[in-house]
C-alpha cells in the first residue's frame, strides 16, 4: 500500500512542480530541487540504508558531467544562459548542471531500489567499480590536459550525437542483450523518468532555463509549442535513465 501511495504522489508531483515553476518563476538552479530533490528526499526517508551508495554513485557522475557539459556549452550543443553564481567552472560549466546531474542520478537509483530492487548489496567497491573510478580519473585528467594544452581539440562537432552514441546507447544495448531480465526492471523505472524528464523539458524551455543554440543537430522535435533537438529527446528523455541504471547495475549492483 505504501508503494502505491508513493507512486501516486510521484505521478502527481511533476504536475505540481510545473505549477510551482510558473507561479514562482523559479530559476534553473531551484528547478532541479523542485523536480528531483523533493522526490529524492521522499525516497531517502523510505530507504535510508541506500543513501550512502546512491550518493557515492551520484558524486562519481560529476567529473564526467563536467567534461560533457564543458564541450556542450562551449560548442552550443546546449546552453544554460543564467546561473545563480557569477562564475562557471572552466569558464563554461554552471553549478546548475552539477546540481542537476547529481540529483538526477541519485533520484533514479533510489527510485529503482525502492520500487523494483529486492536485493540489498551493501558493498560499494569491488574490482568493477574500482576500474570505473580509475577510468574516470584517466578521462578527466585527459580532459584537463587537452583543455590547457590544445583546447581546440575539445571543439567537437555534433557533440550531442557523439557522446550519446558513445556513452549512452551502447550501455543500454549491452544491458538489454546481456541481462534481459534485469533490463525489464530498468525499463519500468525509465517509464516514470521519461514522463518526469519530458515534463521538465517542456517547462524548462517555456521558462528559458536552457536552450540549444547550435545548428549541429540531426533533427528536431516539437511538443506543446516548444522545439528542441532530436538528440535531447532520444538520448536524455528516452535513454538517459536506462543508461544510468545500466552502468549502475554493471559496476555497482552485480546484475541481480
Residue with cell 536552450: 211
pLDDT (tens digit per residue) in 24-69: 999 999 999 999 999 999 999 999 989 999 999 999 999 999 999 9
Nearest CA to 78 among 69, 88, 67? Answer: 69
Please state the pTM of the whole predicted model: 0.94
pLDDT (tens digit per residue) in 188-240: 999 999 999 999 999 999 999 999 999 999 999 999 999 999 999 999 999 99
Domain residue limits, the chain: 2-253
What is the DSSP code string of 143-170?
Answer: HHHHHHH-GGGG--TTHHHHHIIIIIHH
pLDDT (tens digit per residue) in 168-190: 999 999 888 888 888 888 999 99
pLDDT of residue 215: 93
Query: Could you give the CA distance from residue 198 to residue 56 in angstroms, rounded to a whole number?
Result: 26
Q: Any bridge partners for residue 223, and if so which? A: 226
| Chain mean pLDDT for the chain | 93
pLDDT of residue 120: 63
Say which residues have a Cβ less than 8 Å from residue 129's Cβ, sequence separation at least 6.
Answer: 251, 252
Query: Could you give the CA distance from residue 204 to residue 19 in angstroms, rounded to a whole number?
Result: 12
Phi and psi dihedrals of 226, rounded to 5? -125, 150
The pLDDT of 128-138, averaged and rounded, is 90
* CB atoms closer than 10 angstroms to residue 230: 14
Amino acid at each position: 500500500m505504501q508503494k502505491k501511495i508513493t507512486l501516486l504522489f510521484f505521478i502527481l508531483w511533476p504536475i505540481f512542480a510545473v505549477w510551482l515553476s510558473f507561479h514562482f518563476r523559479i530559476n534553473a538552479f531551484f528547478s532541479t530541487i523542485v523536480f528531483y530533490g523533493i522526490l529524492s528526499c521522499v525516497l531517502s526517508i523510505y530507504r535510508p540504508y541506500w543513501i550512502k551508495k546512491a550518493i557515492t554513485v551520484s558524486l562519481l557522475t560529476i567529473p564526467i558531467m563536467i567534461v560533457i557539459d564543458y564541450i556542450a556549452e562551449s560548442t552550443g550543443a546546449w546552453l544554460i544562459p543564467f546561473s545563480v553564481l557569477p562564475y562557471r567552472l572552466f569558464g563554461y560549466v554552471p553549478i546548475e548542471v552539477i546540481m542537476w546531474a547529481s540529483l538526477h542520478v541519485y533520484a533514479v537509483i533510489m527510485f529503482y531500489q525502492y520500487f523494483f530492487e529486492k536485493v540489498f548489496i551493501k558493498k560499494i567497491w569491488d574490482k568493477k567499480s574500482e576500474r570505473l573510478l580509475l577510468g574516470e580519473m584517466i578521462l578527466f585528467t585527459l580532459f584537463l590536459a587537452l583543455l590547457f594544452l590544445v583546447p581546440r581539440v575539445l571543439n567537437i562537432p555534433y557533440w550531442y550525437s557523439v557522446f550519446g552514441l558513445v556513452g549512452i546507447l551502447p550501455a543500454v544495448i549491452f544491458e538489454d542483450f546481456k541481462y534481459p531480465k534485469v533490463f525489464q526492471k530498468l525499463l519500468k523505472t525509465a517509464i516514470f523518468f521519461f514522463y518526469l524528464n519530458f515534463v521538465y523539458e517542456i517547462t524548462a524551455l517555456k521558462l528559458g532555463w536552457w536552450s540549444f543554440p547550435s545548428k549541429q543537430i540531426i533533427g528536431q522535435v516539437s511538443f506543446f509549442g516548444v522545439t528542441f533537438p532530436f538528440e535531447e529527446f532520444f538520448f536524455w528523455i528516452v535513454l538517459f535513465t536506462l543508461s544510468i541504471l545500466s552502468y549502475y547495475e554493471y559496476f555497482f549492483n552485480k546484475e541481480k
